[in-house]
Amino acid sequence: MAIAEIISPATTDNGTVLCDQLQRPLHDLRISVTDRCNLRCIYCMPREVFNEDYSFLPRNELLSFEEIERLARLFVQLGVKKIRLTGGEPLLRRGIEYLIEKLAKLSDISGKPVEVAMTTNALLLSSKAQSLKDAGLSRISVSLDGLSEATFSHMSDSEASVKTVLDGIDAAQRAGLARVKVNMVLKRGVNDHEIIPMVEYFRNSGIILRFIEYMDVGSSNGWKMDDVVTAKEIHDRIHQYYSLQKLAPEYPGEVAKRWRYVDGGGEIGLVAAVTQAFCKECTRARLATDGKFYTCLFAKNGTDLREPMRLGANEQMLTGLIAGYWRQRNDRYSQMRHELTAVANNEKIEMSYIGG
């Protein structure tokens, strides 16, 4: 296929802020570096789907580190200020420090270094925390859905130990990674009994604990609204034990509502993508493992950047493709969730492929 057949004639914004049809700027880029994971969390990669018969992407279909850096540089030129590496499990990608080092050298349009962050399950973090920090990683978020071995085993559908995750978190703090965060996805009747134990463990630790409403990402996790523990309910449960005071967002488009303990024990975050949709403030682009560019976590389709790049597209062509696709963005799935979930065959891209 000729390059001209797959690249639209979109151009860059020549200094103006790149916005979509709802006037949302491009600010954040999430890059999924692998579709593989060493856990089988029930809300992300349920084992009945992602089993020994599941076909993961072959290596030649994954973007190379050089390809990721090239595309990331173009996204940064269009306004991105923060890059987050996701998966699958990003620490399974061999040599991930090399990629971080390349991305950490990028500067945004104001000349400020781009912030490079990562979300991980932390099973491999203990041995890698220092090398990640040395490579230029700014922040890290760890997924942890329960403190008891029984709850963690059920949520992750694995034989991994909670201690391994906690050791990884400790290693991240010792390495000096700024503002380590812990993300807990809640599913009613499964792990919501551990809200207060999680609060008590991470209070006064310098770690920000964030509670995330169970979301209908992908098409394989059997999501039902009845399984959602709402942000309001989470807040009210915690507030019964520890008084909370609302904090202002740190930046426009921040997805977590911030709350501090009145007694000075730190802060928590509540991510209410189901009950308090924040689509109108969403500034995130997503680059999937195989180089497809998506504008929504709940997307069905994306646009391919890998094929044009491998066919020889230059920077102007690729920039035009990225800018043109962002300009036509009008998705607001969370605001329209109840209408769209009723639509037959409303299949969505899986989280392990697009990144959370």
Strand partners, 258: 269
pLDDT value for 348: 54
Q: Give the predicted TM-score (pTM) of the model.
A: 0.89
Structural domains of the chain, ranges and CATH numbers in brackets = 3-178+281-354 (3.20.20.70)
pLDDT value for 346: 55
Instruction: Report the alpha-carbon distance of residue 252 to residue 194 in Å, rounded.
Output: 31
Q: Residue by residue, what is the 3-state secondary structure of the chain?
A: CCHHHHCCCCCCCCCCCCECCCCCECCEEEEECCCCCCCCCCCCCCCCCCCCCCCCCCHHHCCCHHHHHHHHHHHHHCCCCEEEEECCCHHHCCCHHHHHHHHCCCECCCCCECEEEEEECCCCCCCCHHHHHHHCCCEEEEECCCCCHHHHHHHHCCCCCHHHHHHHHHHHHHHCCEEEEEEEEEECCCCHHHHHHHHHHHCCCCCEEEEEECCCCCCCCCCCHHHECCHHHHHHHHHHHCCEEECCCCCCCCCCEEEEECCCCCEEEEECCCCCCCHHHCCEEEECCCCEEECCCCCCCCEECHHHHHCCCCHHHHHHHHHHHHHCCCCCHHHHHHHHCCCCCCCCCCHHHHCC
Instruction: Report the alpha-carbon distance of residue 318 to residue 138 in Å, rounded.
Output: 27
Low-confidence ranges of the chain (pLDDT < 50): 1-14, 340-345
pLDDT value for 34: 96
pLDDT value for 8: 41
Q: For 100-159, write each residue's pLDDT tens digit.
A: 999 999 999 999 999 999 999 999 999 999 999 999 999 999 999 999 999 999 999 999
Q: For 312-354, write each residue's pLDDT tens digit.
A: 999 999 999 999 999 999 987 766 655 544 444 456 566 666 6
pLDDT value for 251: 76
